Amino acid sequence: MNILKTISNTTLITVSIFALTLAYTSCKKKVVTPPNPNEEELITTILLHFTDSAGVQPSVTSIYKDVDGDGGNNPSQWDTIKLKANTTYYAEILLLDDSKSPADTISNEVLEEAKDHLFCFTPSNVNVSVKRTDLDINNLEIGLQSKWYTGAVATGTMQVVLRHQPDIKTGACALGSSDVDLTFQCKVE
Amino acid sequence: MKKLFALAAMLTFALFAYSQQENCRATLHLKIVDAASGLGIEDVTAYLPQQQKGNHSNQMGELDITELCTGDYLLICKHLNHEERKEVIQIREGKNVKTVYMTCHTDTLHGITIKGARLHWEATQVIHKIQDKDLFVSQGLSLGKALEKVNGVYNLSTGNHISKPIIRGLHSNRVLILNNEIRQEGQQWGNEHAPEIDQFIAKSIEVVKGAQTIKHGSDVIGGVVLVQPKPLQQIQGIEAEVNTGIMSNGRASASSLLVEGRRQEWKGLAWRLQGTFKKAGNAKTSDYFLKNTGMQEMNYSAAVGYQKKGFNIELFHSFFNTDIAIFAGSHIGNLSDLYQAFNAERPLDSSGFTYKIDLPYQRVLHRLSKVSASWQADDFGTLKFIYAYQNNIRKEFDRNIVALQPDGSYKPSLHFELNTQHFHLSFEPKPEKKMVGEIGMDGMIQSNEYYGSYFIPNFQKSTVGGYLTEKWHHHAFSLEVGLRYDLNHFEIQKWENNQLIDRRHQYSGMAASAALRYQFPFITLHLNGGSTWRAPFVNELYSYGVHHSAASFEIGDSTVVPERSYNASLTMDFNYQNNIEGEVTLYNNYIKNFINMTPVLPATLTIRGAFPTFQFMQTDVNMFGMEFSVTKALYATLHAHLKGNLLLARDIKRGAYLFGMPPARFETDLDYTLFKKDQNNVHFVMNASYTFKQFLVPTAADYVPAPPAYFLLQSELLADWRFAKQTVRMNLGVSNILNTRYRDYLNRNRYFANESGRNIYIRISIPITISKQTKISNN
């Protein structure tokens, strides 16, 4: 039983040394406040602004807004795009970070990096065709500004996608990854 | 030989009275082992001519020599068909235990070269070791890839350079990696966070599958990987070693330089310096280059140790720094991007070759400083203390519009800093008769801070654990039992609805293990059983966010409870006349409250589109598996090796097979000795492996079906050659000879691209003796 005695003696020494070291180091513990995700830059809002090229129909603004970013609460606003039939609209897209005050305009950054970005529009069951009207330094379309041609009355959807195509932009939508991908309800009245 | 012993015995008797007066009551317990087979050798004559004492080994290769005087003495071991072995050993008071390895006479050698990692005889547990040639031929590969040599161990990867081992289907927080005795603490919860270890430091890598031993921690549900450098005490003279290798695929290179020494005037002082540089460019599949798949790594380490009598102190510092490019095609915005990438015949975003590391990429820095001291007293035992500090900084850069800074640079999207301190204290009492034991404590203090986006919270963690192991052996039978208690406490800070919250968690539990070994002639049986537990990690409790490479939205659950594993395994290993050797293992691991990511509805809606939502949930799983490996000497110069394994991992609650488990794999190789003379030898090795399709997983459990089965061929030349009194080791080979197009189920990139194609590689290892020194006895 010599062994047990030795073990118990050593255990005692071990435990006390340990307790001392732990006590010493735990005193120095500092707690750092993590960065508030609300202060991080986010794309919270997309704003589509339409003006009739003929100046007859009233202007339309459709908004998607999710201030708390990914997950959490559902989007607080997600408008249906309501356009008049047989009209040509000038469309302008604004991307905002509404979690900040004042809101940060992310679309300015898209414009700065226009050669790496492309908006793509895919209508479904509605008679709307979209033509991008702005160009980047390589003479490729961007899509922050566009012309929307509406046809007959119909109800369907319009998918708005912002593709991020670093150094690989060719004008095709398939390349790259999506920074924005939203399917709006769309009504041509 | 017997006559010699008789003479020795007579003289012993004559000197008996004399010995009694002096301090001559020490005993020497020897275990004589065949270096090739690891089996004990019967009928070895071992004697100490200066003391005129000796004995014969029993069936187990064991023998005792009693009534020895203390001091340094010559020990001679002789056997009929083994080479004579002479060495100077130090006899201390009390019981001295020593293992002597004897090699077969070359003329009677009909033994077999054992391919791959093989069983290590000493332990009650089943331990697989990768060392020497096996370690050499894996130089430049990732740790996960190198460990694939061990049957039942797979490689969980994200592209070519991020990989980690999966042991019997378990990985990350369930596999404990000990780097130079220290628990590797990086952000190991992430599948795409590889262990920050420079493999060139290792002299051997050991794998203990399953919870066979709980000495290193209770969270060893999957197993333990021990990366061990060469002990400083073994350094003789001043030596250097240059290791370098190049690979055609990715035009990669990996080189390491090591210098170590000990001075004659300062016998107790030994030191080592080591540095590694690795670089690779874009990898190529059989048809195309993979854009942005390069890497660069630079590491160094320094060690110094001092030894005097029973006292030993060592300082160790290592620095690891890597930049790993993330395959451009794998960084996707949302689920429709993933489908688009998967359905494309080849990645839409293609490229040629470049070394440039572009966005997205990971930059990881890991520092380890360690001080260890041990004190061995003759009539007391060995006391050991370790303190270690680890600092891990992980930055993941994305080319993301919100990460763009006004100056045009990108700030890291994810940025963590993890600081860890370890304390270890253990005591191994002097072996008593047939008992060996160890008692010890481990403590850890850890803090995590994040600076980029939220994925896991800040936390401060402290753990403390104590363990006791006892080993007992009697002839062919040995038994080892272990008991461990751990207490785990942490606090987290995170923001919720614009409010900073602080929460505490505390978990504690017991773990126990038992291992039995019985050695029959030719066959050894190992039976292991035990129960252990693992506390949920912070990511399982609090992760929240989009996981870009996985196109998923991951949500932790702060209410999960610890998981507990009940495991048993039976291994039979056999060696018949060194002509056929092998092992067969059956194991079962039942894990209660297994924490697993499970898909939940609805999908999470974001401005970037919808993401499938995954939540950490608990279930009960049962993992049953079989592993086997056989080596047979077909001719004296031709050896065949076959191995395979199978795992059935079932979610008992849901009645389905688990997602992400390794598919069955069979592998065979032929080793032909082309040339062998003195210390020069050349081997030709041909390896073929067949990996099945993971057909157990229901198709609905994944975005895309599991990739089909694949067959790979590899062949290589391996040579040891003496140049200027140094044995230079060389390796020239081709992997994926057929340039097979395939995707691996355990590579995250299987959604986006094929695996690498054919690869031609050359490795060379040159030892250089700078100054020689007479051997120092350290026993």
Hey, what CATH topology would domain B118-223 get?
Ferric Hydroxamate Uptake Protein; Chain A, domain 1 (2.170.130)
Distance (Å, rounded) from C-alpha B748 to C-alpha B194?
13
Q: Which residues of B touch A22 (CB under 8 A)?
A: 423, 443, 445, 462, 464
Domains of chain B: which residue ranges? Answer: 2-108, 118-223, 224-229+236-771
Gyration radius from chain B CA atoms = 27
The pTM assigned to this predicted structure is 0.81
Higher-pLDDT residue of B166, A168: B166
Q: Which residue has the tokens 């003696």?
A: A9
Average confidence (pLDDT) over A72-88: 88
Longest CA–CA span in chain A (Å) reads 103
Q: Report angle CA B502, B508, B511 to the nearest 5 degrees.
A: 150
Q: Where are the beta strands (DSSP E) in B451-579?
A: 458-474, 477-496, 499-519, 523-534, 544-547, 552-555, 563-576
* pLDDT over 70 (residue B589): yes
- Closest-CA distance, B691 to chain A, in angstroms, reads 32
Helix, coil or strand: residue B700: helix
Q: Which strand (E) or helix (H) includes residue A22? A: helix A2-27
Minimum Cα–Cα distance from A110: chain B residue: B401
Residue A100 CA neighbour count, 13 Å, CB half: 13
- Rounded to two decimals, the ipTM of the complex is 0.77
Closest CA to B463 of B492, B426, B490, B491: B490
pLDDT exceeds 60 at position A134: yes
User: A66 and B606: CB-CB below 8 Å?
Assistant: yes
Please give the average per-residue pLDDT across B359-371, as a whole number.
93
Instruction: Output the six-digit token pair for A25.
Output: 């180091």
CATH topology of domain B224-229+236-771: Maltoporin; Chain A (2.40.170)
Q: Does A124 touch chain B (CB under 8 A)?
A: no
CA pair distance B545, B414, nearest whole angstrom: 11
What the block records as the tokens of B188 is 């190991």
CA distance B405 to A71: 25
A108 touches B: beta carbon within 8 Å: no
Q: Give CA–CA dist B434/B667, Å, rounded.
A: 40
**Mean pLDDT over residues B164-176, rounded?**
92
Asked if residue B194 lies in contact with residue B295, where contact means CB atoms within 8 angstroms, the answer is no
The Cα–Cα gap between B661 and B650 comes to: 10
- Average pLDDT for chain B: 85
Residues of chain A with C-beta less than 8 angstroms from the C-beta of B415: none
Rounded-to-integer distance, Cα B100 and Cα B87, Å: 10
**pLDDT higher than threshold 50 for residue B117:** no
Give the residue, B589 or B212, on which the prediction is more confident.
B589
* Tokens, residue B425: 């204290």
Please indicate whether, in this complex, the C-beta atoms of A22 and B544 are within 8 angstroms of each other: no
Kindly tell me if the per-residue pLDDT of B116 is higher than 60.
no
Query: DSSP H helical segments within A28-154, as ranges?
Result: 106-112
* Ramachandran assignment for B189, one of left (phi > 0), alpha (psi -120 to 50 degrees), beta (any other): alpha
pLDDT band (50, 70, 90) for residue B19: very low
* A101 shares contact with chain B (CB less than 8 Å): no
Q: Which residue has the higher pLDDT, B478 or B743?
A: B743
Cis status, amide bond into B536, omega within 30 of 0: no
CB B242 within 8 A of CB B770: no
Tokens of A98: 């509404």
Q: Does B348 touch chain A (CB under 8 A)?
A: yes
Residue A172, domain CATH:
2.60.40
Tokens of B222: 């999957």
Tell me which DSSP letter residue A103 carries.
Answer: P
Chain A residues with beta carbon closer than 8 angstroms to that of B426: 14
Do residues B762 and B252 touch, judged by C-beta distance below 8 A? no
Per-residue pLDDT, averaged over B474-478, amounts to 76
User: Which pLDDT belongs to residue B36?
Assistant: 60
Beta-bridged to residue B446, according to DSSP, are B420, B461
Q: Do A129 and A68 fall into the same domain?
A: yes
pLDDT of residue A2: 54
Averaged pLDDT, B771-779: 54
Residues in chain B closer than 8 A to A113 (CB atoms): 401, 404
State whether residue A66 sits within 8 Å of chain B by CB.
Answer: yes
* pLDDT class of B177 with cuts at 50, 70, 90: very high
Tokens 């995700």 belong to: A37
B511 interface with A at CB cutoff 8 Å: no
Quick check: B114 pLDDT over 50?
no
Q: With bands split at pLDDT 50, 70 and 90, how would you rate the model's confidence at B611?
A: confident
The pLDDT of residue B16 is above 50: no
Contacts of B54 (CB under 8 A, 6+ apart): B5, B8, B9, B12, B45, B46, B47, B48, B65
H helices, E strands: number in chain B? 6, 40
Output phi, psi for A6, to 5 deg: -60, -45
**With contact defined as beta carbons under 8 Å apart, do B739 and B766 qualify?**
no
| Cα of B705 to nearest chain A Cα, Å | 22
Band of the pLDDT at B713, cuts 50, 70, 90? Answer: very high
User: Quick check: B111 pLDDT over 80?
Assistant: no
Q: How far apart are CA B261 and CA B236, in angstroms?
A: 7
The total domain count for chain A is 2
* The pLDDT of residue B222 is above 80: yes
Token readout for B545 is 């966010």
Contact B163, B155 (CB under 8 A): yes
Kind and range of the H or E run holding A18: helix A2-27
The β-bridge partners of B485 are B466, B510
- Give the per-residue pLDDT at B347: 81
Q: Find all residues with CB under 8 Å of B579, minimum gap 6, and list them.
A: B110, B112, B632, B633
- Chain B residues inside the 8 Å CB shell of A2: 432
Rounded alpha-carbon distances, angstroms, from residue B556 to B12, B507, B592, B646: 72, 17, 18, 31
Q: Which strands make up the sheet holding B204-209, listed edge to edge?
A: B118-119, B127-131, B204-209, B223-228, B175-179, B182-183
As a whole-number percent, the residues of chain A with pLDDT over 70 amount to 83
Mean pLDDT of all residues in B438-455: 91
Q: Indicate the pairing of strand B223-228 with strand B552-555.
A: unpaired
Statement to judge: residues A19 and A103 lie in one domain: no
Tell me what pLDDT residue B33 has.
82
Token pair 């695929």: residue: B249
CB B550 within 8 A of CB B749: no
Residues A87 and A15 in one domain: no
Distance separating alpha carbons of residues B193 and B196, to the nearest angstrom: 9
pLDDT beyond 60 at B7: no
pLDDT at B80: 66
The reply to whether A20 touches chain B by the CB within 8 Å rule is no
Tokens of residue A67, six digits: 């201030």
Cα(B332)–Cα(B748) distance, integer angstroms: 13
Q: Is B399 on the interface with A (CB under 8 A)?
A: yes
**Chain B closest-CA separation from residue A176 CA (Å):** 7
Cβ-based contacts under 8 A for chains A and B: 156
Domain housing A86: 37-188
Give the one of A11, A21, A177 whose C-beta lies nearest to B332's C-beta. Answer: A177
Residue B175 confidence class, pLDDT cut points 50, 70, 90: very high
Q: Which two tokens stand for residue B481?
A: 């039992």
Q: What are the chain A neighbours of B385 within 8 Å (beta carbons)?
A: 17
Is B381 in contact with A6 (CB distance < 8 Å)?
Answer: yes
B334, B402, B437 ranked by CB distance to A178: nearest = B334
Q: What is the mean pLDDT of residues B137-164?
A: 87
Q: B610: burial class by Cβ within 10 Å (0-12, 13-18, 19+)?
A: middle
pLDDT at A64: 92
Cα diameter, chain B: 94
Nearest residue in chain A measured CA to CA from B459 = A31
pLDDT per position as a tens digit, A1-49: 455 555 555 555 656 665 555 555 554 556 778 887 767 777 889 999 9
**A55 Cα to chain B: minimum distance (Å):** 31
**Which run of H or of E encompasses B155?**
strand B153-158
pLDDT tens digit string along B373-412?
Answer: 999 887 788 899 999 999 999 999 887 777 777 777 888 8
- Same domain for A99 and A145: yes
DSSP assignment of B563-623 equals EEEEEEEEEEEEEETTTEEEEEEEEEEEEEEEEEEEEEEEEEEETTEEEEEEEEEEEEEEE
| Least confidently predicted of A23-27, B42-46, B614-618, B628-632 | A23-27
d(CA B658, CA B644): 20
Are residues A155 and A173 both part of a single domain?
Answer: yes
Instruction: Count how many Cα atoms sit within 13 Å of the Cα of residue B473 in the half-sphere of its side chain.
Output: 16
Q: Which CATH number fits domain B2-108: 3.30.70.2190, 2.30.30.230, 3.50.50.60, 2.60.40.1120?
A: 2.60.40.1120
Assign residue B600 a region (left: φ > 0; alpha: ψ between -120 and 50; beta: otherwise).
beta
Token pair listed for B719: 């040579």
**Which B residues 355-384 touch A at CB under 8 Å?**
359, 380-381, 383
β-strand pairing of B95-102 with B26-34: parallel
pLDDT in tens, B423-434: 999 998 877 767
- The β-bridge partners of B719 are B682, B730
Which DSSP symbol is given to B353? -
The torsion angles phi and psi of B142, rounded to 5 degrees, stand at -75, 165
Centre a 10 Å sphere on the Cβ of residue B43 and count the other Cβ atoms it contains: 16
pLDDT per residue as tens digits for the range B301-355: 999 999 888 888 999 999 999 999 988 777 776 777 777 778 887 887 778 899 9
Question: For residue A17, what pLDDT is reported?
Answer: 61
* pLDDT number for residue B209: 87
Average pLDDT over residues B248-275: 89
Whether B118-223 and B224-229+236-771 share one fold: the answer is no
Which whole number is the average pLDDT over B501-509? 93
> Which residues of chain B does A35 touch, with a Cβ-Cβ cutoff of 8 Å?
450-452, 454
Question: What is the residue-wise DSSP string for B468-484?
Answer: EEEEEEETTEEEEEEEE
Same domain (yes/no): A89, A52: yes
What pLDDT sits at residue A6?
Answer: 56
